[in-house]
Amino acid sequence: MKSFQLRGLFGVLLCLVIGLTGCQPVKATTDGAIHLTLWHGVNPPPNREVLQQLVDRFNQTHPTIQVDPLYIGQPDQQMPKILAAIVGNATPNLLWFSPVITGQLVELEAIRPLEDWLYTTPWFNDLDPVLLESMQLENHLWSIPFGTNNVGIFYRPSLFAAAGVTTLPATWEELRQTAQQLTGVYNGNPQYGMMLPLGKGEWTVFTWLPFLWSGGGELQPNATGAVDLVNPGRSLLSASGARS
């Protein structure tokens, strides 16, 4: 992938794109433009419409470089397609992917570091350095941040009023007390004071980490190879299901 092509794409799309070392040579078609295939998993559909608008804007202003986006599903659906493309030497020119699979792609030698050209581009200083940290592995930068999600707690004022809660909790202890106060039966229906994500998938970890970090906790590997959720001065539930 030539650096000027990625520079042009990044300047307009502002998205995470990487050049795959095994991608097919980029060739100009009969319309005289260089076509770049972009695999992505942008979801929900309204977000894909926004991405398409950005792509259309880029294509209109860069008639010699045209981006062809293709939705390939969510992360669990993407990996089989990516692996098949790597094995078949038919990878896309550009790829939107979850950072958690970066290590797998590096081991497969399917991607190459971007710092050689990215650090010299005029857009590098516009990138949030905090986001860039999540793109790094083994002292190399493998991708460009596409976006970030902010986790928050949403509440329904009417339920607070029905339970007699007049002020919002400001501490962990107040949050616990408010959740207990909200738990019960209202209008004949059982109600829980707070709903939290459970399970073993990436989404659960993603939504729990802000709670952990804001409470002063951190992730620490233990002697068994599992990960414990620890907080100075108190014990938390470990990722393996046992008390740490």
Q: How far apart are CA 115 and CA 101, in angstroms?
A: 19
Specify which residues 94 forms β-bridges with: 19, 38
The domain limits of the chain are 3-141, 157-191, 202-235
In tens, the pLDDT along 12-67 reads 343 333 344 334 555 556 678 999 999 999 988 999 999 999 999 999 999 999 99
If phi > 0 it is left, if psi is from -120 to 50 it is alpha, else beta; for residue 184 that is left
**pLDDT score at 223:** 83
Cα–Cα distance between 122 and 137 in angstroms, integer?
23
Of the two residues 42 and 134, the one the predictor is more confident about is 42
Q: 37, 27 in Cβ contact below 8 A?
A: no
Q: CA dist 186 to 160, 164, 179, 208, Å?
A: 11, 12, 14, 28
Q: Which residues pair with 186 in a beta bridge?
A: 189
Distance CA 55, CA 38 (A): 10
CATH superfamily label, 3-141: Periplasmic binding protein-like II (3.40.190.10)
- Answer whether 135's CB lies under 8 Å from 100's CB: no
